[in-house]
Every structure is written in structure tokens, then in C-alpha cells.
């Protein structure tokens, strides 16, 4: 039996008052993030929105990466999203990390490679994984630390990208140990110089200070 024709008028169509703004913010987020799989990313976006969780959204579009192949992988913007999602927890279950990684449409093989760099079990210490992610982005130890500071800093974009010395020291020492070719005494000497500068800045390491620090551990 065919359905009867239904007539609608403007008065009958009710548009939820929040819908236009939700769609507007979603569109802006998609443009900034440039996900490879829009549908997969959209499902993660609205799931996080409904749960009040950090959204899988970049703070700004990363133009240098937008022209690369679609499977270009991890970028500073994507790593910053993951940091916002996981840093409050301290540790993260590997299965959850895999889920969030997939939500960002990042290649699974890249995640597996990162996890193999350390003897992680079912739980991953987030700051260690962050450091490993930065090592993929940087071409040297110091450039990796530059990425780390820019991701974890509370300073506004374009600021000093300051981070607590304890955090800087932990990340730098960890990456130096993973590298395996940097003598421990050189790591200690470098961090000693950084600490002297940090002591003059209320215990904070400023990005502009350490990137010019002379060291053979770069």
C-alpha cells in the first residue's frame, strides 16, 4: 500500500535551535583538521562532543601537511590532539590509544612502530609516548624537544613555549636513553646548563633558550 502524500509547511518543520551552531562548529573543525576519512572522524567528533570529552580537532590547519599524501601520518597538530585527550590520565591503555589513533585516520603501522620503540605492556606512560611521537617529527634530539615544548606548553601560540624543567628533563633524558648513543655525562651536562637558565625563570625552560644551547647531544 503506497504511503499517502504528506504536505509540509514551514510551521510544521521544527529545526532544533542548537543545530545550526553545531553544524557550523563541526564544519570549521573539519576544515582545520583535514581528516583523511571524514565519516570516521565525524563519528569520533560527535561521540566526544556528546560525552564532553576533548574533541579530535586541530587548533589550526597545518598547511605544509595538507599537500602531502593522505597517509602522511603523525603531525604536530595530531599529536597535540592526542596529548589533550590523554595527558590528564598519565597512562593510557594500548587499546584506547589505538582507537583514538584510528579516529584521527592515522596509519596503524606508524603506531605499531612507535610502540615497539619501548617495552610497553598493555598500559603506556603517556609522556613517554609523547616523546617518541616528537622523535618522529624531529630530525634531531633538540628539534624533537622543540616539538614537545610547543605541544605541552600552556603559553599562547607564538609565545615562549615554556615548560617546567622537571618535564623537560624527563623527556630529554628519556629520548637520550632511547637513542642509546648519547653518553650519560653529556646528557647531564646539557641539562645542568638548562637548569641554570630555568632557575632564573621560576623553574621554567624557555624554548628560545635551549634551542641555542651549545651541545654535542643534538
Encode pLDDT of 40-91 as tens digits: 999 999 999 999 999 999 999 986 544 344 456 899 999 999 999 999 999 9
User: Does 189 reside within a domain?
Assistant: yes
Please list, residue by residue across 188-201, b when 16 or more beta carbons sit within 10 angstroms of its beta carbon and e when fewer do: eebbeebeeebeee
Query: Which has more pLDDT, 14 or 102?
Result: 102
User: Does 194 reside within a domain?
Assistant: yes
With H, G, I as helix, E, B as strand and everything else as coil, classify residue 69. coil
User: Does 65 reside within a domain?
Assistant: no
User: Does 103 reside within a domain?
Assistant: no
User: Does 95 reside within a domain?
Assistant: no
What is the pTM for the complete model shown? 0.85
Read off the pLDDT of residues 184-200 as tens digits, 9 standing for 90 and up: 999 999 999 999 999 99
pLDDT for res 160: 86
- Domain ranges, residue 161: 138-218
Which backbone phi and psi does 123 adopt, to 5 degrees? Answer: -115, 140
- Smallest CA-to-CA distance from 136 within 56, 209, 72, 57 is with 72
Domain count, the chain: 1
139/143 Cα distance (integer angstroms)? 6
Amino acid at each position: 500500500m503506497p504511503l499517502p502524500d504528506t504536505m509540509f509547511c514551514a510551521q510544521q518543520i521544527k529545526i532544533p535551535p542548537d543545530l545550526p551552531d553545531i553544524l557550523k562548529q563541526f564544519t570549521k573543525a573539519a576544515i582545520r583538521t583535514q581528516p583523511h576519512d571524514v565519516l570516521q572522524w565525524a563519528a569520533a567528533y560527535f561521540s566526544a562532543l556528546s560525552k564532553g570529552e576533548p574533541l579530535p580537532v586541530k587548533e589550526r590547519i597545518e598547511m605544509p601537511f595538507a599537500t602531502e599524501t593522505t597517509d602522511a601520518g603523525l603531525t604536530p597538530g595530531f599529536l597535540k590532539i592526542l596529548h589533550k585527550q590523554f595527558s590528564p590520565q598519565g597512562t593510557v591503555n594500548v587499546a584506547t590509544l589505538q582507537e583514538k589513533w584510528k579516529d584521527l585516520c592515522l596509519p596503524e603501522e606508524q603506531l605499531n612502530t612507535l610502540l615497539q620503540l619501548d617495552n610497553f605492556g598493555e598500559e603506556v606512560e603517556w609522556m613517554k609516548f609523547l616523546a617518541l611521537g616528537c622523535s618522529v617529527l624531529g630530525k634531531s634530539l633538540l628539534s624533537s624537544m622543540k616539538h614537545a615544548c610547543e605541544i605541552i606548553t600552556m603559553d599562547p601560540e607564538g609565545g615562549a613555549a615554556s615548560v617546567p624543567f622537571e618535564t623537560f628533563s624527563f623527556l630529554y633524558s628519556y629520548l637520550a636513553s632511547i637513542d642509546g648513543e648519547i653518553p650519560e655525562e653529556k646528557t647531564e651536562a646539557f641539562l645542568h646548563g638548562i637548569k641554570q637558565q630555568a632557575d632564573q625563570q621560576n623553574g621554567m625552560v624557555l624554548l628560545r633558550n635551549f634551542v641555542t644551547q651549545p651541545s654535542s647531544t643534538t
